[in-house]
Amino acid sequence: KQEVTQIPAALSVPEGENLVLNCSFTDSAIYNLQWFRQDPGKGLTSLLLIQSSQREQTSGRLNASLDKSSGRSTLYIAASQPGDSATYLCAPRTPHDMRFGAGTRLTVKP
C-alpha cells in the first residue's frame, strides 16, 4: 500500500516569499502525481498533474517537480500571496489507486 508523507505539516510565511512543499511516497511504480489545493470547508482543486515520464510541470507561479525513482515531488510557489493560503495535498497514482498525503497547511501573511 502506498504511503505518502508531506513535509512540513504547516507553514506560515510573509507575503512575497518563495516556498517549497515536499512530498515523498513509498511505491515508485506510479503513473502520475497530482497536486491539489483545498480551502477550508471546500473540495479539492487540481493544481498540477505530472506524468511519470516528466520531470516537472508549471502553471503560473506554481512549479512541481517529480523524481520518481527516489519517490519525491516538490511544489514550488513563487512570490506567495495571501490568496495562496490553503492546504496543499499531493497524490501519487499507481495502476490501482491514488493515495493522499496528510497535506501542508500554508498561511501567507499580508
Residue 83 binding other proteins, by CB under 8 A? no
Task: Quote the cell numbers at residue 35.
Answer: 497536486
- Cβ atoms 57, 48 nearer than 8 A: yes
Q: Which stretch binds other proteins (CB under 8 A): 12-20, 63-71, 78-86, 100-108?
A: 100-108
Give me 44's grid cell: 479539492
Q: CB nearer to other proteins: give 39 or 67.
A: 39
Contact pick of 7, 102, 107, 109 for other proteins (by CB under 8 A):
102
Residue 26: how many other CB atoms lie within 10 Å = 12
Q: Rounded distance, CA 46 to CA 93, Å? A: 14
Q: Which residues bind other proteins (CB under 8 A)?
A: 31-32, 34, 36, 41-46, 49, 51-52, 89, 91, 93, 95-103
